[in-house]
Structure 1
Amino acid sequence: MDNIYFFKEDCQFDLRKLKKHKKWLNQLADQYKYEIAEINYIFCSDEYLHKINLDYLDHDTYTDIITFDLNDSEEQNNLIESDIFISIDRIKDNANNLKIGFKQELSRVMAHGVLHLIGFKDKTEDEKSKMREAENKALELL
């Protein structure tokens, strides 16, 4: 289970509460016949993630998650390697706006990043619907 790591940048966040998520995220990948080689979750502030969004994606917006796929293999090998940045500020605000718990929203967003790496998209309404369904199934696993 030493393939998922948690870091924090520019935020206060207790990473100890995420230990059980490692097993869950590996189960999620396995469900789709993928294997996690390595994922680095970097929890950060809105400002930290906004700067990444500007610098790397040229998007001048706040977001809850940015997923970088680091698997540069030419062939489809079903291995996941990624840096996933998550704004704790956005998670708090989204949870509040959706009237759900912080842990539930955080887990949904963590799964969202893995689902992107598996191949789920969320640009069109149909893609968003399929992504939301996959997120809900992922939360049931947890």
Structure 2
Amino acid sequence: MIVFNYETDFIIDNEAELTTWISATIEEEECSEGDINYIFCDDEYLHKLNVEFLNHDTLTDIISFDYSVGKQLHGDIYISIERVQDNAVDFNTVLENELHRVIIHGILHYCGYKDKTDSEAKLMRSKEDYYLSKL
């Protein structure tokens, strides 16, 4: 089950459409959907998690805690709306597009994709683009 939670004033108005899209992505990646929580927050909220749990004193757009069991996906995906807004400007795109990219990025991590090396990042970006085209 995919659930959207809000720790900021931001609210997604097409939750049902996004849920269907995320579920289809999980299925196409030959995984099964467990409990997946999206938590939308601000920079301060996410920075605190980054310091406390990852020992990273930096701002980031997304942190995901993966509790998957095999190919059954479970986890909490925290997204800073402030970071996504800034990134949309930096990447010359609209907020909605950048938000969708970050939303599916978290799921792709749960499906086993990494982005630490250049080749991994290239594959991750390719997968993001592919699934974004299906939305």
TM interval, shorter chain, is: over 0.9
User: Paired residue for 2:92, among 92, 99, 110?
Assistant: 99
User: Paired residue for 1:8, among 2, 6, 9?
Assistant: 6
User: Paired residue for 1:34, among 31, 34, 37?
Assistant: 31
Tell whether 2:109 aligns with 1:112.
Answer: no
> Superposition RMSD on alpha carbons, in Å?
0.9
> What letter matches 2:117 in structure 1?
T
Q: Give 5+ residue unaligned stretches, structure 2.
A: none
Q: Is the 8 A contact 1:64 1:91 kept in 2?
A: yes
Q: Give 5+ residue unaligned stretches, structure 1.
A: none
When the two structures are aligned, how many residues end up with a matched partner?
Answer: 135
Q: Is the 8 A contact 1:7 1:15 kept in 2?
A: no
Tell whether 2:117 aligns with 1:131.
Answer: no
Q: CA deviation at 1:92?
A: 0.3
- After TM superposition, the runs of 4+ consecutive aligned structure 1 residues lying more than 2 A away are 15-19
Match of 2:54 in 1: 57
Q: Distance in 1 between matches of 2:49 and 2:77?
A: 11
Identity %: 41
Tell whether 2:63 aligns with 1:66.
Answer: yes
> What letter matches 1:58 in structure 2?
N
